[in-house]
Amino acid sequence: MEEEKAGVRLNKYLSDAGICSRRQADQCIEEGKVSIDGHTAVMGEKVFPGQRVVFCGKPVKEPSENQKVPIAFH
């Protein structure tokens, strides 16, 4: 996939992982709550496959395109 080679913007990565919205992610990045491979992330930074992303001290699970989402209705 072409996107994997170029990386994904950090705010989209966090959004796709279900952490928060892109705008909320931008705010958290500005506040220094996000790190990539041990360094504090900056706005516009990209995440590449194999990198470790930490949000508020907790590792972020890599988003998956094939991730199943349970839906319940009545």
pLDDT score at 6 = 80
Average pLDDT across each block of 10 residues of the chain; the chain has 74 residues. List them in order.
71 92 94 94 93 93 69 81
- What separation in angstroms does the CA of 67 have from each of 11, 19, 28? 19, 15, 25
pLDDT score at 66 = 58
Q: How many other C-beta atoms are found inside a 10 Å radius of the C-beta of residue 41?
A: 24
Considering only CA atoms, which of 49, 50, 51 is closest in space to residue 34?
51
Most distant CA pair in the chain, distance: 46
Strand partners, 55: 34, 58
Q: pTM value? A: 0.76
pLDDT score at 71 = 78
